[in-house]
Amino acid sequence: MKQNITRTLTKLRTTFLSFTMGQRLVAVVGTAALLLAAFMVFRWVSTPNYAPLYSNLASEDASAIIDELDAAGTPYELADGGATIMVPRDAVYSTRIDMSGQGLPAQGGTDGYDLLDGQDISTSDFQEQTDFKRAMEGELTKTIEAIDGVNTAVVHLAIPEKKVFSDEQDPVTASVLVDTSAGTTMEPTKVQAIVNLVASSIDGLEPDKVTVADSAGKVLSTSEGGALGASTRDQAVADFQNQKTQQIQSMLDRVLGPGNSTVQVSADLDFDKAVQESTKYRSNPRTQPLSETSSEETYNGAGGGTGSTGVVGPDGQMDSLGTGGGTGADNDYSKKATTRDNAVETVKEHREAAPGSVKSIHVGVVLDTVAAQGIDAADIQDLITAGVGINPDRGDTVEVSTLPFDRTADDKAAAELAAAAKAKADAKRMSMIRNGGIAVAILGMVLLAWLRARRGKRERDARAEFLVEQLRNDAAERAAAAAALDPSPAVAALEVAEDTANNELRREIEALAERQPDEIATLLRGWLVERP
CA 224, distance to chain mean position in Å, is 32
Helix intervals (H) in 163-260: 188-201, 230-256
Cβ atoms of 329 and 321 within 8 Å: the answer is yes
- Average pLDDT taken over every residue of the chain: 77
Instruction: Tell me the residue type at 134.
Output: R
Contacts of 439 (CB under 8 A, 6+ apart): none
Say whether pLDDT at 444 is over 60: yes
Rounded distance between C-alpha atoms, residue 363 and residue 383, angstroms: 12
Helix-then-strand count for the chain, H and E = 11, 16
Residue 508: half-sphere exposure toward Cβ, Cα within 13 Å: 10
Distance in angstroms (rounded) separating the CA atoms of residues 69 and 74: 5
Predicted local confidence at residue 398, as pLDDT: 92
Task: Give the pLDDT mean for 275-295.
Answer: 73
Local confidence band at 442 (pLDDT 50, 70, 90 cut-offs): confident
Q: Position 174: which residue type? A: A
pLDDT value at residue 363: 93
Per-residue pLDDT of 88-110, as tens digits, reads: 888 888 888 888 777 777 655 55
d(CA 529, CA 432): 48
Would you state the pLDDT for residue 230? 53
Tell me the CB-side half-sphere exposure of residue 431, using CA atoms within 13 A: 6
Q: Which residues does 252 contact at the CB level (< 8 Å), separation at least 6?
A: 260, 261, 263, 365, 367, 380
> pLDDT tens, 18-30?
777 777 777 788 8
Q: How confident is the model at residue 488 (pLDDT cuts 50, 70, 90)?
A: low
**What is the secondary structure of 140-189 as a DSSP string?**
HHHHHHTSTTEEEEEEEEE-PPPPTT-S--PPEEEEEEEEE-TT----HH
pLDDT band of residue 490 (cuts 50, 70, 90) is low
State whether residue 4 is helix, strand or coil.
helix
Q: pLDDT tens, 126-151?
A: 777 888 888 888 889 888 888 888 87
Looking from the CA of 74 toward its CB, the CA atoms found within 13 Å total 24
Give percent above pLDDT 90 in the chain. 7
Interval 216-271: pLDDT, tens: 888 887 554 444 455 567 778 888 899 999 999 999 998 888 888 999 999 988 87
Q: What is the pTM of this model?
A: 0.40
304: pLDDT confidence band, cut at 50, 70 and 90?
very low
Q: Please, is 178 exposed, middle or buried when counting C-beta atoms within 10 Å of its C-beta (0-12, 13-18, 19+)?
A: buried
Best CA proximity match to 211, nearest among 172, 248, 176: 176
Which one is predicted more confidently, 489 or 353? 353
Distance CA(134)–CA(121), nearest Å, equals 19
Model pLDDT for residues 157-183, shown as the tens digit of each residue: 998 887 766 667 788 899 999 988 766
Most confident of 305-314, 418-427, 501-510: 418-427
C-alpha to C-alpha distance for 489 and 425, rounded to whole angstroms: 92
CB atoms inside a 10 Å sphere around CB 84: 16
- Identify whether the C-beta of residue 464 lies closer than 8 Å to the C-beta of residue 511: no
Nearest to 83 by CA among 53, 110, 108, 58: 58
Task: Name the residue with higher pLDDT: 162 or 310.
Answer: 162
- Digit-coded pLDDT (tens) for 460-484: 677 767 776 776 777 677 667 666 6
Q: Which residue has the higher pLDDT, 433 or 228?
A: 433
pLDDT digits (tens, 9 = 90+) for 368-415: 988 888 888 888 899 898 888 888 888 899 999 988 888 888 788 888
